[in-house]
Amino acid sequence: MQTPQLAGKIALITGSTSGIGLGMARALAAEGATIIFNGFGDPTEIAELQRATGIEFGVRTGYSNADMTKPAEIEKMMNDAIDQFGGVDILVNNAGIQHVANVEDFPPERWDAVIAINLTSAFHTTRLALPAMKRKNWGRIINIASAHGLVGSAGKSAYVASKHGIVGLTKVTALENVQTGITCNAICPGWVLTPLVQKQVDARAAANHVSIDQAKRELLLEKQPSGEFVTPEQLGALAVFLCSAAASQVRGAAWNMDGGWVAQ
Ligand code: NAD
């Protein structure tokens, strides 16, 4: 049997107890990577997720409950990864939240939270992961941005600012390491039906007095001309490609997978 392509690699995925992050974790585990989960949730369910993932893919797993709004907790998570697993080879900055309101109505504390989780946490994890990656001269940093890292939408000032910001951080990180074995790229998904988007579907159904299915159709057709959701599995497959040797010259890209959203 062929050795899985990411055997021996340690992957830390922020916000991987749900949605896209979980899809990333499963795709990287399927290629043999050790997985360090992070994110919120019921401790028993998270322990079971770790156990089940380990058994399904025959990989080691770990977990950090670090809150991505808290730099001290991020630092502890990264230090624990070094102590327990020898460092992080694949860093997926995925944790993210949304808040929808026009600028003048946007609660300042929600602005701060969105920027902290979606953008600043990636600065901290990246700065703390790079020294060990440099020692090994190998690393993959994958930032989960969004179609909103490339174009805007009304009502999403903090989210769009954070996602444009992370595309900028991606380019600079890529360039600072451009002659090393460390690459940094962003993935820019369109709509993916995760808990983050389900909340927006529910809000739309309530506001427009339509069914959940109708709200999903409207949400998609407004932005995503394919009329279909992107899936966590498809995004996971792109992350696996970005970790491969074939992608070693993909550097500083903001790669959209969005059913045609930003092609319009
Ligand atoms: P989700 O709500 O399903 O998952 C978010 C994850 O982040 C969860 O594991 C949650 O526990 C974790 N998290 C939230 N706050 C945290 C904190 N303070 N500290 C640590 N972990 C925290 O969301 P999702 O849709 O899977 O989104 C994942 C990423 O993908 C986000 O960055 C989001 O902006 C991005 N994205 C999502 C879509 C979409 O359509 N769902 C589209 C483009 C980009």
Give me the residue spans of the domains in the chain. Answer: 10-190+230-257, 193-228
What pLDDT does residue 207 have?
Answer: 94
Say if ligand 1 is within 6 A of residue 39 CB. yes
Q: What does the pLDDT look like over 62-113, one tens digit per residue?
A: 999 999 999 999 999 999 999 999 999 999 999 999 999 999 999 999 999 9
What is d(CA 178, CA 184) in angstroms, rounded to the nearest whole number?
Answer: 9
Pull the structure tokens for residue 25. 């974790």
Mean pLDDT of 112-120: 98
How far is residue 127 from each of residues 57, 123, 124, 169, measured CA to CA in Å? Answer: 30, 6, 5, 11
Rounded distance from Cα 203 to ligand 1 centre (Å): 18
pLDDT digits (tens, 9 = 90+) for 34-52: 999 999 999 999 999 999 9
SS (H, E, C) 124-157: HHHHHHHHHHHHHCCEEEEEECCHHHCCCCCCEH
Measured CA to CA, the distance from residue 53 to residue 29 in angstroms comes to 8
- Taking the whole predicted model, whether its pTM rises above 0.95 is answered as yes
- pLDDT for residue 174 is more than 90: yes
Q: Is residue 2 exposed (0-12), middle (13-18) or buried (19+ Cβ within 10 Å)?
A: exposed
Q: Is the CB of residue 224 below 6 angstroms from any atom belonging to ligand 1?
A: no
Give the mutation target among 40, 150, 156, 219 for probing the ligand 1 site: most ligand atoms within 8 A of CB.
40
Question: What's the pLDDT at 3?
Answer: 84
**Predicted local distance difference test score (pLDDT) of residue 77:** 98
**DSSP H helical ranges for the chain:** 19-30, 43-57, 71-85, 108-115, 121-136, 157-176, 195-208, 212-223, 232-243
Tell me the C-alpha distance between 184 and 25, whole Å. Answer: 18
Architecture of domain 10-190+230-257: 3-Layer(aba) Sandwich (3.40)
Average confidence (pLDDT) over 3-10? 95
The whole-number pLDDT of residue 176 equals 98
The residues facing 13 across adjacent strands are 37, 92
Question: Would you say 226 and 204 are in contact if contact means Cβ atoms under 8 Å apart?
Answer: no
pLDDT band for position 163 (50/70/90)? very high
Residue environment code for 120-145, b if the CB has 16+ CB neighbours within 10 A, otherwise e = bbbbbbbebbbebbeeeeebbbbbbb
Percent of the chain with pLDDT over 70: 100
Q: Mean per-residue pLDDT for 192-205?
A: 93
Q: What pLDDT, on a 0 to 100 scale, did the predictor assign at position 1?
A: 67
pLDDT at 196: 86
Give the span between the Cα atoms of 103 and 167, in whole angstroms: 22
Respond yes or no: is residue 63 known to be catalytic: no
Banded pLDDT at 244 (limits 50, 70, 90): very high
Catalytic option among 37, 159, 229, 261: 159
CA separation, residue 26 to residues 34, 37, 38, 110, 156 (Å)? 10, 10, 13, 30, 29
The pLDDT assigned to 165 comes to 99
